[in-house]
Amino acid sequence: MPPDRPGAPGGASWSLMASRVLVIEDEAPVRAMVRLILEDEGFEVIEAADGEEGLERFASESPDLVLVDLRLPGTHGFEVCRALRASSDVPIIILTAQVDSHDVVAGLEAGADDYVTKPFVAKELAARIRAALRRSTAVVGGDSPAVHLIGSIEIREEAGVVRKDGTVLHLTKTEFRLLCEFADHAGLVLSREQLLERVWGYDYLGDSRLVDAHVRRLRTKIEDDPANPRLLRTVRGFGYKMTRPGDDGDDGA
Amino acid sequence: MATTGRKGRGGLGLRARGTVAFALLALVLSASLAVLTYSIARSYLLDQRESLALRQAFINARATNEFLRADDPDVPDLLAALPSSSGSFVVLRADDEWFALSVGTGRAVLPESLIAATDDGAAARQRAVIGGDPALAVGIPLPAADAAYFEVFPYDELEKTLATLGYSLLAAATITTILGALVGSYASRRVLRPLRGFTVGAAELARGNFATRLTAPGDKDLAPIATSFNEMAEALQKRLEREARFASDVTHELRTPLTALSAAVEVLDRRADERSRPVVDVLRTQVRHFQQLVLDLLEISRFDAGAVDLTAEQVSTTEFFASVLRGLQKESVPLEISDDAPATFRLDKRRVERVVANLVENADRYAGGPTSVQVSGADGVLRIVVEDEGPGIPPDEVDAVFERFHRSTAVSSDSERGTGLGLALVTEHAALHGGRAWVEARVPTGARFVVEIAEPPL
């Protein structure tokens, strides 16, 4: 995996306190090395050896980010992701041994924000963690309007709130960033590569399954009929596009 | 897949043969039935016609006899008065004088043998061609009047009836034959339908859909074939799943220690002091090499197990290859995108990135680095060329370099050894894209590694 984009803020530039990372990994040597690497990078590490312990420690320590191995004895990594997502929008990065297996997609569907393959490069692991933390803390906005109204969806970028028909939706920070990216460019086709770069901080070679899985998750939350999306359209061979209802009837279906 | 084909050795398929057999059977049956019907009908009609004719002739003869015995009979009146049926006509000899109702129907038309037989004093009948048409001639001697009564009954109406019957039967036989052919075609199709299921199933299996199962046909003769097919598919699927699971387990088991090892080396590398530096350097390069070797082995074993999927997506050709070179820290190598190169292309980003990485690495190791990366192509084919200005590949090694663990005679300039699998993986990745890889000599010096990949269907 390529290193993070240049211009990423350093370890302590966005927060005075060291970010706390919960590492759920059953292999003690790997866990120990991850601890050393992350501590060298300025993170505080909380360890858990299996899924149950991970969920307990999450509840008691409330870490800023969770790094979870997919293959855990007992509670599987997917289940950990799902259990975490049931109550929290904490950034989750999965560790997987197999890039092209369906594990990655299943983990993303279960709610993970990103993934890192084993064996990983220390710098890359740290970069992925930083990028995820940045998404969860950075305020979106800038020159774009802070409030979008798209169909029944209301997006308040600065407040980090999304409402559908007035009801607040629970989005993860990555889903929120992705939705804002679409809303800021409503009516324009965004390629997977553009989204990978803007939301995740990957370069052109990033894994577009990240985008696809997140778009699917986003659709289940914002679309009336996720199987037949009206707002977040797929533009075959190009990417995705946010359509305001009534803007352009049936194109791109 | 070898096509055993629907056609048999003889040239005609089972279905054509079934059709022909049914048609022939129908033809033979309907033809014999028609011939039999025709001949029975014919002889019955002839018999009936003859007995009617005879009866009429005898009645007429008796009447003639009575008439002639009267005084001075007017024979023409008599002839005109006699009842006639369906074109029959009378010829009368009275006292050596011949009478007939019309010209051309006199004595001349009667067969001589009939006249002779009648003259001998016996009633006779004879089938003959009279006036160009088949007819029955009846002769009855009337000795009391010294006369003979002849009546000719043409068969032409009967012939017409029989011809009509014949045509009807011919038409019926033809229709029956055609129906037979249709039934044959339909029946063979019915018989072959389960086999068609087998064909489709086998093709699905060959295409890699190992979950394919056949529903057992109702026919108990065919059911065992379906059962063995399903057992075979089941065994194949299980074996593949076992292999894929093994590959996946091996991957996991190997990656875990590798992960700990490479992470430990990184930590160590950061903390190494002057004294331990040389040791850490050896450790770092060896762990990296070992890691690459394991990853390449896992990759190639997935190809061998058939557990590979192409994850194709649309990329911008220029951006993609520029990113690949950037990722390899080879931005200085000229990237030449030719005008005919497709602006966008569907490919598996990870695999094509590996292809370029392996070729670049190969050039680094044996040829002092790549001198250019060229991208061209047309019509759904993308051609990637990595050129170097090294010593080139000896002609007898141009194929061997793509083999696994091929040990080149060329001298590696790199202190780090390759895994020996890089170019073999290039071939595999290209083949998965429906393409191929080869190397040619670069003029004036060096080598040109060429990879062609085909755009997978959307």
Instruction: For residue B107, give the amino acid letter.
Output: R
Q: Which amino acid is residue B451, in one-letter code?
A: V
Report the 10 Å Cβ neighbour count for B160: 10
Q: Which of B258, B75, B151, A88 is nearest to A80 (CA)?
A: A88
Please list every residue in chain A whose beta carbon sits closer than 8 Å to the beta carbon of residue B267.
33, 36-37, 40, 122
- Above 50 in pLDDT, residue A252? no
Q: Report the DSSP beta bridge partners of residue A46.
A: A22
Where residue B130 falls (left for φ over 0; alpha for ψ -120 to 50; beta otherwise) is: beta
Nearest to B255 among A29, A118, A236 (CB): A118
Predicted local confidence at residue B396, as pLDDT: 87
The size of chain A, in residues, is: 253
Indicate whether A239 pLDDT > 70: yes
Instruction: Find how far residue B280's CA is from the centre of its chain.
Output: 67
Tens digits of per-residue pLDDT, A37-53?
999 999 999 999 999 99
Largest CA distance in chain A: 57
Neighboring chain A residues of B263 at a CB cutoff of 8 Å: 30, 33-34, 36-37, 119-120, 122
Q: B313 versus A100: which is more confidently predicted?
A: B313
Q: Percent of chain B having pLDDT more than 90? A: 25
Q: Which residue has the higher pLDDT, B316 or A252?
A: B316
For an interface test with B, which of A30, A96, A124, A234 has the most B Cβ atoms less than 10 Å from its Cβ? A30
Residue B324 exposure: Cα atoms within 13 Å on the Cβ side: 28
Categorize the per-residue pLDDT at B303 as very low, low, confident or very high, splitting at 50, 70 and 90. Answer: confident
Token representation of residue B98: 């011949």
**AA identity, residue B344:** T
Cβ neighbours of B73 (radius 10 Å)? 16
The pLDDT of residue A143 is 55
Contact A190, A240 (CB under 8 A): yes
**Cα-based torsion angle of the residue sequence A40, A45, A48, A49 in order, rounded to the nearest 10 degrees:** 10
Do A205 and B324 meet the contact criterion of CB atoms below 8 Å apart?
yes
- Interface-testing mutation among A35, A39, A193, A236, with chain B (most B C-beta atoms within 10 A): A193
Tell me the pTM.
0.63
Res. B376: pLDDT tops 70: yes
For chain A, say whether B235 makes contact (Cβ under 8 Å).
no
Record: contact B251-A98, CB cut-off 8 A: yes
* pLDDT for A104: 85
Q: Kindly determine whether residue A118 and residue B258, on different chains, have CB atoms separated by under 8 Å.
A: yes
CB contact (8 A) between residue A27 and residue B260: yes
Residue B2: pLDDT band (50, 70, 90) is very low
CB contact under 8 A, A122 and B252: no
Chain B: residue whose CA lies nearest to A212? B313
Q: Inform me whether the pLDDT recorded for B130 exceeds 90.
A: no
Q: Helices B223-271 and B156-206: crossing angle, nearest 10°?
A: 20
CA distances from B40 to B165, B171, B216, B441 (A): 11, 18, 51, 91
Reduced to 3 states (helix: H, G, I; strand: E, B; else coil), residue A228 is coil
**Alpha helices for B96-142 (secondary structure H):** 112-119
Whether residue A84 is predicted with pLDDT greater than 60 in this model: the reply is: yes
CB of A208 within 8 Å of any CB in chain B? yes
Q: Does B248 touch chain A (CB under 8 A)?
A: yes
Query: For A84-102, what is the mean pLDDT?
Result: 85
- Residue pair A91/A132 in contact (Cβ under 8 Å)? The answer is yes
d(CA B380, CA B346): 9
What is the rounded average pLDDT of the residues B244-255?
A: 78
Task: Enumerate the H helices of B305-410 as residue ranges.
Answer: 317-327, 349-367
The Cα–Cα gap between A140 and B266 comes to 35
Looking at the complex, report in whole angstroms how far the Cα of residue A167 sits from the nearest Cα belonging to chain B.
36
What is the secondary structure of A11-77 as a DSSP string?
Answer: TTSS-SSPPEEEEE-S-HHHHHHHHHHHHHTT-EEEEESSHHHHHHHHHHH--SEEEEESS-SSS-H
B414: its two tokens = 């790199």
pLDDT tens for B304-324 read: 777 788 888 888 899 999 999
B29 token code pair: 């049956």
Q: How many residue pairs from chains A and B have C-beta atoms closer than 8 A?
A: 93
The residue with greater pLDDT, B38 or B304, is B38
How near does any CA of chain B get to the CA of A189, in Å?
Answer: 14
Residue B420: is it exposed, middle or buried by C-beta count within 10 angstroms (0-12/13-18/19+)?
Answer: middle
Residue B258: is its pLDDT beyond 50? yes
Chain B partners within 8 Å of A29 (Cβ): 256-257, 260, 264
Residue of B268, B295, B314 to mutate, testing the A interface (most A Cβ within 10 Å of its Cβ): B314
Please tell me the distance from the alpha carbon of residue B243 to that of residue B236, in angstroms, as a whole number. Answer: 11
Percent of chain A at pLDDT exceeding 90: 42
Q: Prior bond to B444 cis, omega within 30?
A: yes
Separate counts of helices (H) and strands (E) for chain B: 9, 12
Query: What are the boundaries of each domain within chain A?
Result: 9-137, 147-242
Nearest to A100 among B252, B291, B311 (CB): B311
Q: What is the pLDDT of residues A162-204, one digit of tens each?
A: 999 888 988 898 999 999 999 989 889 999 889 999 999 888 8
All residues of chain B having their beta carbon less than 8 Å from the beta carbon of residue A205 are 320, 323-324, 327, 349-350, 353
Does position B222 have pLDDT exceeding 50, yes or no?
yes
What CA–CA distances, in Å, run from B259 to A92, A214, B49, B251?
20, 28, 111, 12
Which of A45-59, B133-147, B274-288, B385-399 is least confident? Answer: B133-147
A9-137 and A147-242 in the same fold? no
Interface of B with A in 47-66 (CB under 8 A): none
A140 has a pLDDT exceeding 80: no
Closest CB from A36, A120, A205 relative to B353: A205
Q: Is residue B4 very low, low, confident or very high in pLDDT (cuts 50, 70, 90)?
A: very low
* Confidence band of A29 (pLDDT split at 50, 70, 90): very high
**What is the per-residue pLDDT for A251?**
46
Asked if B385 and B338 touch (Cβ cutoff 8 Å), the reply is no
pLDDT of the residue at A11: 42
Q: Closest approach of chain B CAs to the CA of A145, in angstroms?
A: 30
Q: What is the pLDDT of residue B372?
A: 94
Predicted pLDDT of residue B357: 95
In this structure, of A141-150, B166-175, B336-345, the range with the lowest mean pLDDT score is: A141-150
Query: Which among B256, B266, B291 is the nearest to A30, CB-wise?
Result: B256
Half-sphere exposure of B425 (CA within 13 A, CB side): 28
Assign a CATH topology to domain A147-242: Arc Repressor Mutant, subunit A (1.10.10)
CA distances from A138 to A42, A132, B188 (A): 19, 10, 73
What is the model's pLDDT at position B430? 95
Pick the residue from chain B with its C-alpha nearest to A116.
B259
For residue B261, which residues of chain A lie inside 8 Å, CB to CB?
Answer: 119
Q: How is residue A3 written in tokens?
A: 């290193």
B318 near A CB under 8 A? no
Q: Find the range with the poorest average confidence among A81-95, B17-31, B295-309.
A: B295-309
Nearest residue, CB atoms, B313 vs list A27, A120, A208: A208
Q: Do the Cβ atoms of A111 and A85 come closer than 8 Å?
A: yes
CATH 3.20.20.70 matches A9-137:
no
Instruction: Kindly state whether B306 is in contact with chain A, defined as any CB-CB distance less than 8 angstroms.
Output: no
Separation of alpha carbons A113 and A120, rounded Å: 17
**Mean pLDDT, all residues of chain A:** 84
Three-state DSSP class for residue A127: helix
pLDDT for residue A250 is more than 90: no
Distance CA A55, CA A46 (A): 12
What are the start-end ranges of the E strands in chain A? 20-24, 44-48, 65-69, 92-96, 114-117, 147-150, 153-156, 161-164, 167-168, 189-191, 232-235, 239-242
**Can you give the pLDDT at residue B11?**
66
Q: Which residues pair with B386 in a beta bridge?
A: B373, B449
Shortest Cα distance from B448 to chain A (angstroms)?
Answer: 25
Q: What is the dihedral sign for C-alpha A208, A209, A212, A214?
A: negative
Burial B5-38 (b: 16+ CB within 10 A, else e): eeeeeeeeeebbebbbebbebbbeebbeebeeeb
Residue of B260, B251, B284, B256 lying closest to A35 (CA atoms): B260
| pLDDT recorded at residue A9 | 43
| B257, amino acid identity | P
C-alpha distance from residue A61 to each of A11, A24, A45, B456 (Å): 21, 13, 11, 49
Q: Averaging pLDDT over each range in A94-98, B149-153, B237-241, B368-372, which range is the top one?
A: B368-372
Give the pLDDT band of residue B119 (cuts 50, 70, 90): confident
Spatial separation of the C-alpha atoms in residues B386 and B365, rounded to whole Å = 14
Tokens of B279: 């040791």
Distances (CA, A) of A125 to A13, A55, B410: 18, 22, 38
Least Cα distance to A76 among A120, A102, A107, A31 occurs for A107
- Report, as an integer, the average pLDDT of B261-274: 90
Measured in angstroms, the CA of A248 and the nearest CA of chain B are apart by: 24
Please tell me the distance from the alpha carbon of residue B426 to that of residue B404, in angstroms, as a whole number. 11
Option in B267, B309, B323 nearest A33 (CB): B267
Average pLDDT of every residue of chain B: 84
Q: Within an 8 Å CB–CB cutoff, is residue A120 touching chain B? A: yes
pLDDT at residue B418 greater than cutoff 90: no
Asked if B322 has any chain A CB less than 8 Å from its own CB, the reply is yes
**Residue A4 pLDDT greater than 60, yes or no:** no
Which single residue is written with the structure tokens 């009336």?
A224
CA distance B252 to chain A (A): 6
**What would the pLDDT profile of B45-55 be if each residue is shown by its tens digit?**
888 888 888 88
Cβ–Cβ of A99/B291 closer than 8 Å? no
pLDDT at position B414, please?
Answer: 56
Q: CB of B188 within 8 A of CB of B159?
A: no
Residue of A nearest to B310 (CA): A100
Chain B residue with CA closest to A1: the answer is B327
Q: Place B103 in a pLDDT band, splitting at 50, 70 and 90.
A: low
**Cis peptide bond N-terminal to A229, omega within 30:** no
Q: Are strands A65-69 and A20-24 parallel, antiparallel or unpaired?
A: parallel
